Amino acid sequence: MPAKGVLVAVTADVVIAGGGVIGTAIGWRAAAAGLDVVLADPARGDGASLVAAGMLAPVSEALFGEGALLRVNLLALDRFPSFAAELERVTGHRVGLRREGTLAVAYDAGDYAALMRLTAFRRSAGLDAEELDSRACRKLESFLTPDVHGGVLFPGDWSVDNRRYAAALREAAAAAGVRVVPDRVTAVLTADGAGADSPDGAGDRVRGVALASGGEIGSARVVVAAGSWSGAVDGLPAALRSAVRPVKGQLLRLRHPDGMPPVLTHTIRATVRGADVYLVPRADGEVIVGATQEERGPDLTVTAGATHDLLHDAMSVLPVTSELILAETCAGLRPGTPDNGPIVGEVGPGGLLLATGHYRNGILMSAATADAAVACLTGRAPAPEWEPFGPGRFLAGEGAR
């Protein structure tokens, strides 16, 4: 029963807290699976997914010691094209999936040595990589500077237009019957009112969520997919709330002036004297340049220094960048976790599901995360690749599953 004086405005099978690409993808698939879904977000489409380059790049992102993350990212990439195709079919909109591949380039000999070490590791994991000398790099991308030392083509790393993709997801979710409540979820509510962070919360069940406006939504199942803000939701186990932190990323959106032919075909990932920069071309003539990684809490300011460094590094490898129009500078917050992996899975109290902490791979993992979440919501097991990424790894005997 709701407390006296509190309005229960809506009830649903599932409430999803967070309307970014993760929450919206889950909402769409859950509604398509026959569930009655309410999605709560005060600023839909205004999160990290708008400030993203849309790289689908498990191979060129794979780092030493992150084998489990690589496997779930490869699962996510494998799932992405059919998911995107269904999204395009349902909405009639293109989402800008590009499969030309990613060209990693090294500016100097030190950058090249580092790239070769990573490439050996990636190959040992069975990933496809083609080494290219400077001339071969320029054969693929003629505007690259001749100063580039060399590169590696990763044909399996793609990209998607993140803004088109996010907009199509919202449209598909609405068409599937997902209702949107433009409000912030402040707490997950449990049947006994104690909240999931109480010592005996694990034996309890959720009964809905509280909203910033003072209202409530009644629901036996709640998905917390609030990205960087997941830690602000009351009623989650304390160890999970502190496991998700915002990692600031600044990026630039460039455009070709009228009449200039496209300067890029592949995604370029460059290392310029140890600094990483990427350039992602879009079919509509946009080129995204990103991104910084800054531990500055919830700060969303665009700084002179970050803009300078991104432009400098991009112009170092692709001098023609200077001729492009600087259409937008922006900053977003990615939900980082202590081990760089996402948090996807159920946690006590009963009916509570987490789908957050996707860090730099929210767009890439959105389709596979929706599959995993809908599996949990419908009583099936998620794919085994998700097993290492349950919430339990951050709980020390606090009632984890």
Q: Which residues of the shown chain bind a second copy in the complex (CB under 8 A)?
A: 252, 254, 257, 301-305, 307-308, 311-312, 314-315, 321-327, 329
Strand partners, 278: 269, 290
Q: Which is nearer to a second copy, 250 or 356 (CB)?
A: 250
Contact 194, 204 (CB under 8 A): yes
Q: Which is nearer to a second copy, 198 or 329 (CB)?
A: 329
Q: Which is nearer to a second copy, 113 or 326 (CB)?
A: 326
Q: In whole angstroms, how close is the CB of 308 to a second copy at the nearest point? A: 4
Burial degree of 89 (CB within 10 A; 0-12, 13-18, 19+): exposed
Q: In whole angstroms, how close is the CB of 302 to a second copy at the nearest point? A: 5
Q: Which is nearer to a second copy, 311 or 317 (CB)?
A: 311
Q: In whole angstroms, how close is the CB of 12 to a second copy at the nearest point? A: 40
Q: In whole angstroms, how close is the CB of 252 to a second copy at the nearest point? A: 7
Contact 204, 350 (CB under 8 A): yes
Q: Which is nearer to a second copy, 252 or 344 (CB)?
A: 252
Report how far residue 66's alpha carbon sits from residue 376's, in angstroms, rounded to the nearest whole number. Answer: 25
Helical (H) or strand (E) element with 78: helix 67-91
Both structure tokens of 78: 């494998």
Q: Which is nearer to a second copy, 265 or 329 (CB)?
A: 329
Phi, psi angles (nearest 5°) of residue 156: -90, 5
Q: Give the gyration radius of the chain's Cα atoms.
A: 22
Q: Is 392 helix (H, G, I), strand (E, B) or coil?
A: helix
Which amino acid belongs to residue 399? G
Q: In whole angstroms, how close is the CB of 184 to a second copy at the nearest point? A: 23
Q: In whole angstroms, how close is the CB of 333 to a second copy at the nearest point? A: 16
Report how far residue 65's alpha carbon sits from residue 172's, in angstroms, rounded to the nearest whole number. Answer: 37
Q: In whole angstroms, how close is the CB of 309 to a second copy at the nearest point? A: 8
Q: Which is nearer to a second copy, 76 or 254 (CB)?
A: 254
Phi, psi angles (nearest 5°) of residue 125: -90, 10
Length of the chain: 401
